[in-house]
A and B are shown apart, each in its own frame.
Chain A
Amino acid sequence: MEHTQTLQLYGTAGVRYNVGAMTRSDVQLMLDVKAGDEASFNLLLQKYRTPLVNFLYRMVRNTGTAEDLAQEVFLRVYRARKQYSPSAKFTTWLFRIATNLALNSLRDNRYRQMDVSIDAPVEEDAAPLQLPARELRIDEKMIERDRSEFIRRAIAALPEKQRVAVLLHKYEEMDYGEIAKILECSESALKSLLFRAYETLRVQLAPLVSQSVANRAREGRPS
């Protein structure tokens, strides 16, 4: 059964997007693509280009590489349309391809490596196009950009499997069964993996977590 409910897990959801709610007709769209309907492929492209590019960007931390890999994912989906059979959710298939490509890309060392220290200097390509929630002053923008970069680096410093698990759980809001299929592990192993990943991030991002609480307290908001 398709999982269509969006879970409200996190307090600040200004930058979130929802993949889960759009999956209902994905299988049908892909079957239409299989039958030769190019328009259905365009719909899938529109739905998943942003989630895919963001997932891949968080994996490889390079916008150009992330786009190239996202293109390759869509191309592989298109090439495999004739052999497509709806045995699993479309997103499971899509993100499994994306995960494999991203991991291969990192392992082949063709693209910039992510195993950098959290304290390493900011890379030139580390500032992607952003969607500011409100107009910020320059100093506020710089602080926010630094915070984002700090968070990105902490995620990037996680071991590969933990990184994929966190990205799919936190940002794609996939259920455990789906993530376990993509990572080819049991749900129990996945839960342990996620716990270890979040525990690492809790330590690495402790200054931001406490800062966030302090800011909320100063603004009179509940934490």
Chain B
Amino acid sequence: MKKCEDVSKQLIAYLDRRANSAERHEVEEHLAACSACHERAEDFRKLWGVLDEVPLVEPSLGFDARIRARIAEEPRRGWLGWLVPQPRLAFAMALLLALSVWMARLPREGNVAGTEQQDFEAIKDLGVLENYDVLSKFDALSEVPVEAAPTDQPAQPVTPGSEQQPTTEE
């Protein structure tokens, strides 16, 4: 037999006659054996009778007239409506188009300005770049660490001692 807790889910459907035959049988079996649930089921039936006592509220006399007036105020679709069936979609597309045009123009203007600036800087430093004396005495270059030998040169045979004590050349 089912527990009270399990039957509670089926009890409402049993009382309003929407339970299937299997559920109905289970609930009836439980109610026959459980006085507490039986009493609850009886109370629910009485409760529904009590809930029926609440009188209906009638809508006011002007209810229909008000809603018709509000509907009459709703904007009607004119010839533009047939031309543009979805105003929101049309607006979104127009916005997207405008954005695309703006974006297309923006980078080109930026490139032009950037190129002009770069040309100006190059012309300004041209005298220094062409002065070999300045570059040859530029000490900062001597402090740059020496890069390892390029990999495209033929590999040197490795001697056993060289693995343990790497030689350094100053």
Q: Quick check: A198 and B47 within 8 Å, CB to CB? A: yes
When the two chains form the complex, which single residue of A7, A49, A74 contacts B17, counting CB atoms closer than 8 Å?
Answer: A7
Q: Quick check: B56 and A75 within 8 Å, CB to CB? A: no
Residues of chain A within 8 A of B60, CB atoms compared: 67
1/0 contact trace for B34-76 toward A, CB 8 Å? 0000001001111111111111111110011011001100100
Q: Quick check: B49 and A10 within 8 Å, CB to CB? A: yes
When the two chains form the complex, which single residue of B8, B11, B67 contacts A74, counting CB atoms closer than 8 Å?
Answer: B67
Given contacts A74-B67, A75-B71, A191-B9, contact A9 B55 (CB under 8 A): no
Residues of chain A within 8 A of B16, CB atoms compared: 7, 9, 169
Smallest distance from the beta carbon of A157 to chain B beta carbons, Å? Answer: 14
Task: Indicate whether A71 reaches chain B with its CB closer than 8 angstroms.
Answer: yes
Q: Quick check: A131 and B46 within 8 Å, CB to CB? A: no
Tell me the nearest residue of chain B to A68, going by C-beta.
B66
Q: Looking at chain A's contact residues, is the secondary structure mostly helix, strand, loop, or mixed?
A: helix
Q: In the complex, what distance in Å separates the CA atom of A209 from the CA atom of B42? A: 10
Q: How many residues of A contact B (CB 8 A)?
A: 60
Given contacts A9-B48, A209-B46, A212-B46, contact A15 B55 (CB under 8 A): yes
Residues of chain B within 8 A of A86, CB atoms compared: none
Task: Indicate whether B12 reaches chain A with its CB closer than 8 angstroms.
Answer: yes
Q: In the complex, what distance in Å separates the CA atom of A131 from the CA atom of B58? A: 8
Residues of chain A within 8 A of B55, CB atoms compared: 15, 128, 130-132, 148
Q: In the complex, what distance in Å separates the CA atom of A199 from the CA atom of B12? A: 11
Smallest distance from the beta carbon of A148 to chain B beta carbons, Å? Answer: 5
Interface residues of chain A, those whose CB is within 8 Å of chain B, are: 7, 9-17, 41-42, 45-46, 49-50, 53-54, 57-58, 63, 66-67, 70-71, 74-75, 78-79, 128-132, 144, 147-148, 151-152, 155, 169-171, 175-176, 188, 191-192, 194-195, 198-199, 201-202, 205, 208-209, 212-213, 223
